[in-house]
């Protein structure tokens, strides 16, 4: 059977700068919704819901499974920023936060990122 996400199966951690590193460096354009010293929020280029944006740390962490105790504050910050941006984007009726990890988790970019999806009733279970 073909992979569920061919792009995800081909993605590998390490090596060249990721597309997200290039967005942080402003060498690749993105629609930026929020930025501070720790993170960047921008619209997904292939939205899976009426509202779909990503929250990424500026410090590259390849996967959620690679975080440690030193990342606790940063992870909390990413979630608070996700919630505030969701509110600013009008998602008062709710939204979904998703973090994909590794090949089986369908991670397509090896730079930790939180997907925020909303703007319609989302189905369950996902995947």
User: Of these residues, 52, 111, 113, 115, which one is catalytic?
Assistant: 113
Q: What is the DSSP annotation of 70-109?
A: GGHHHHHHHHHHHHHHHHHTT-TT-EEEE---TTTTT--S
Q: Is 98 exposed, middle or buried (0-12, 13-18, 19+ CB in 10 A)?
A: middle
Contact 100, 108 (CB under 8 A): yes
Can you tell me the distance from the alpha carbon of 97 to that of 86, in angstroms, rounded to the nearest whole number? 10
Copy the structure tokens of residue 15. Answer: 């090596």
Instruction: Judge whether 113 counts as a catalytic residue.
Output: yes
Can you tell me the distance from the alpha carbon of 112 to that of 125, in angstroms, rounded to the nearest whole number? 23
- Residues forming the active site: 113
């Amino acid at each position: 059977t073909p992979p569920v996400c061919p792009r995800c199966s081909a993605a590998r951690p390490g090596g060249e700068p990721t597309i997200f590193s290039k967005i942080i460096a402003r060498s690749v354009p993105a629609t930026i919704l929020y930025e501070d010293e720790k993170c960047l929020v921008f619209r997904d280029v292939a939205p899976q819901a009426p509202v779909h944006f990503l929250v990424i740390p500026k410090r590259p962490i390849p996967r959620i499974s690679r975080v440690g105790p030193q990342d606790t504050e940063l992870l909390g910050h990413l979630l608070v920023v996700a919630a505030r941006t969701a509110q600013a984007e009008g998602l008062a009726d709710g939204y979904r936060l998703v973090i994909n990890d590794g090949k089986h988790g369908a991670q397509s970019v090896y730079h930790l990122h939180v997907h925020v999806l909303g703007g319609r009733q989302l189905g369950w279970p996902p995947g």
